[in-house]
Amino acid sequence: MKSAVACSKKWFFIHQKKNLKNYYLIKNKKQLNYKSLKKNNIKYIFFPHWSFILPKKIYENFICVIFHTGNLPKHRGGSPIQNLILKGYKNAYVNAIKVQKKIDSGPIYARKKVSLKGSLDNIFYNISIIILELMKKIITSNIKPKDQIGKKTFFKRLNKNNSFIKKNISSINMMYDKIRMLDSDEYDNANFNLNNFNFSFTKVSKKGQKIYANCLIKKSKK
């Protein structure tokens, strides 16, 4: 039987393209089709990043494993990487979770610690390596997932408004975290408006008390 990888953003496919030749790839919601999955003899469906509610017919007929970064059962919910950075975390776990009806609530097959240092793209790259490792472990080792134990907390998903740089940022470290946690082509980058222009920042780094970044300047949208 084959395994599938479903990811609604491009980062996992970009970082692990050469290692996914033997997987059935699903890149959007429409491709997550019951008939196609059955036809291709799929057993496992791995979700490195998925922005949609999974149909019951999918997770009840296939072994669906979604990956979530956080110290579960704490840190359930949306935008975990950004929320963890805002709360000052330096590391977190990448969890391989069996999909159930409630989001991020399923038993955990395995998990591994990842650093939250650097840009979002760099964090995604490190997470992609861990996800591939956990996928192989689940397929080959017949692991039984274990229930989550402990206090549950929930993150709120960030939206486009959260990308704006606001006046309450009072230190170099806070500014650096704000820029780096959105430093990816797949997110609205950290930005602000001034005199009918929009300034957005990418490719960020920090040396001492100085931040270096690329700045794109364009006319603000009215």
Write down the pTM of the prediction.
0.93
Amino acid at 20: L
Instruction: State the Cα angle at 63 between 24 and 80, rounded to 5°.
Output: 85
Q: How far apart are CA 80 and CA 195, in angstroms?
A: 33
Task: Give the domains, in start order, of the chain with CATH numbers.
Answer: 2-155 (3.40.50.170), 160-219 (3.10.25.20)
Buried-exposed string 18-56: b where 16+ CB fall within 10 A, e elsewhere: eebeebbebeeeeebeeeebeeeebebbbbbbbeeebee
> What secondary structure does DSSP assign to 47-73, as a single string?
EEE--SPPPHHHHHHSEEEEEEESSTT
Model confidence over 87-112: pLDDT tens digits? 999 999 999 999 999 989 999 999 99
Structural tokens at position 217: 């300047």
Model confidence over 44-86: pLDDT tens digits? 999 999 989 899 999 999 999 999 999 999 999 999 999 999 9
Three-class SS state of 81: helix
- pLDDT confidence band for 222 (50 / 70 / 90): low
Structural tokens at position 10: 């491009």
